[in-house]
């Protein structure tokens, strides 16, 4: 039996904060994506589009709330 770890809100937040984006610890996926989009608009974060593409390629293991937040606020450039 294979156990797959899902990409949840905490994983999403951790990946964004690893890029230097300041996100509150209790932020839900929508808030994370919105803050990341605003940060990217204010000061381009070169790694963000690549992260978004990487995450969207893993939709099979991503929780729907994370996928919806990405689609809503962080479209792939």
pLDDT in tens, 23-67: 999 999 999 999 999 999 999 999 999 999 999 999 999 999 999
Residue 3 has pLDDT above 80, yes or no: no
- Find out whether 77 and 20 touch, Cβ atoms under 8 Å: no
Which residues have C-beta within 8 Å of that of residue 44, sequence separation ≥ 6?
none
Residue 75 confidence (pLDDT) = 81
Which residues have C-beta within 8 Å of that of residue 2, sequence separation ≥ 6?
none
The three-state secondary structure class of 53 is helix
The three-state secondary structure class of 5 is coil
pTM of the entire predicted model: 0.91
Residue 21, phi-psi category: left (phi > 0), alpha (psi -120 to 50), beta (remainder): beta
């Amino acid at each position: 039996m294979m156990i797959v770890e899902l990409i949840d809100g905490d994983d999403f937040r951790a990946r964004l904060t690893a890029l230097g984006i300041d996100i509150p610890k209790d932020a839900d996926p929508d808030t994370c994506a919105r803050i990341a989009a605003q940060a990217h608009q204010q000061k381009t974060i070169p790694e963000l589009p690549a992260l978004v593409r990487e995450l969207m390629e893993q939709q099979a293991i991503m929780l729907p709330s994370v996928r919806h937040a990405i689609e809503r606020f962080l479209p792939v450039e």
